[in-house]
Amino acid sequence: MEFSFRSSSSKSARMVPRFFFCILPFFSLGFYLNVPTVQTFTGTYGINYGRIADNIPPPESVVTLLKAIKIKNVRIYDVNHSVLNAFRGSGLELVVGLPNEYLKDMSSNATHAMEWVKENVQAFLPGICGIAVGNEVLGGSDQELWQALLGAVKNVYNAVNTLHLAELIQISTAHSEAVFANSYPPSSCIFNDNAIQYMKPLLEFFSQIGSPFFLNAYPFLTYMSDPKDIDLNYALFQPNSGIYDPKTKLHYDNLLDAQIDAAYAALEAAGFGKMEIIISETGWASRGDTDEAVATDSNARTYNYNLRKRLAKKKGTPLRPKMVLKVYVFALFNEDLKPGATSERNFGLFKPDGSIAYDIGFRGLISSSASSSIISLKDIWKRAWIASYSMVLMTCGAVLFLV
């Protein structure tokens, strides 16, 4: 019963205006309060490995690439078994996705949730550390999915807990910025009226099982929605005058920090101010359509290079300075089969052949032909050295014999 569906986030359909940038439990509350928080993110830098493409490297090569560039935290959007086999026992920390298509079934059928967890998670341990149940459900257009999300989350968690994996597997779901309202300045952010009735019970459950709030935050989209009022340098972590929040008296020099603190403000207003936020997606397109003029190699490099430097400092946001920021960058590869705007297919840090799309300090995979050439060259030098050394020994032996 393999549930395999290649899906990764679609960003063009959720461009938001500037002010957006920013059921009963199956077990008792006391039971959940005894569940320890699962730590599934090592360091600060992770990557989304989307696979809506027909030209990217096989999973085994992807594992090699990730180890070479020292990225341990990885998110995928399904449970493709070829990927899970490649990652199993690799030492990489993989968060798998339960696609939105399965939420209604998982919400209404606990047996199917158990089968899914057994066949797509338990069977591939060690290596899987989290399950993202759906992606950007609240704020989307399918109201039936909104109603199914919490039930699916609970059934998946119950299956994980029954299999004694609750201390190893973290349950989450990622939200877009469309769940927010009134988020400029950051301190004014709240969950919008449509989302709050579904968000509160979900946050209550996640607080009980120790899950963070996963947020997909794209300064790229926010800037494109209001280029007249947003400084491009502010979106790219470049020097700028920033913004000032009069309520908190905090200054922001980059848009991503403001988006994150807006989400913290919304969580606090809803009664969940202590919940950690992890950025489940962020990135910048390197190519776009004519109306996506800021989607360039230069801007993509600037955003991702500066983001990497910012994460290396291991610091928090102005509102949560001690909460070290953790980010999954979108994405590992350009994905040539993704529908929508040209930018959708050009968020990758790497090209399909494994080489870098632009330089932010990573080195890409060496092609097999190049590897063969290098090996052959080394082999030639090694053989030449051995031959020379052997000739010297023979000469010395001949001299000694004559003497």
Tell me the mean pLDDT in the region 340-354.
Answer: 95
Dump pLDDT digits (tens) for 167-181. Answer: 999 999 999 999 999
Structure tokens at 204: 């209550």
Q: Is 61 exposed, middle or buried (0-12, 13-18, 19+ CB in 10 A)?
A: middle
SS3 labels along 131-148: EEEEECCCCCCCHHHHHH
Other beta carbons within 10 angstroms of residue 18's beta carbon come to 15
Give mean pLDDT, residues 209-216: 97
Whether pLDDT at 253 is above 90:
yes
Residue 353: which pLDDT band, with cuts at 50, 70 and 90? Answer: confident
Interval 118-155: pLDDT, tens: 999 999 999 999 999 999 999 999 999 999 999 999 99
Mean pLDDT of 89-109: 98
pLDDT band at 373 (very low <50, low <70, confident <90, very high): very low
Residue range 10-22, pLDDT digits in tens = 675 555 444 444 4
**Mean pLDDT in residue range 274-287:** 98
Q: Where are the alpha helices (DSSP H) in 47-109?
A: 59-68, 81-87, 103-108
CATH of 12-365, one of 3.40.50.1390, 3.40.718.10, 3.20.20.80, 3.40.50.280: 3.20.20.80
Per-domain residue ranges for the chain?
A: 12-365, 369-403
Confidence of residue 387 (pLDDT cuts 50, 70, 90): very low
Q: Say which residues have a Cβ less than 8 Å from residue 375's Cβ, sequence separation at least 6.
A: none
Q: What is the pLDDT of residue 396?
A: 47
Q: Answer yes or no: is pLDDT of 371 > 60.
A: no
pLDDT of residue 378: 41
Catalytic residues: 136, 281
Q: Is the pLDDT of residue 26 over 60?
A: no
How many angstroms separate the CA atoms of 215 and 266, rounded?
A: 12
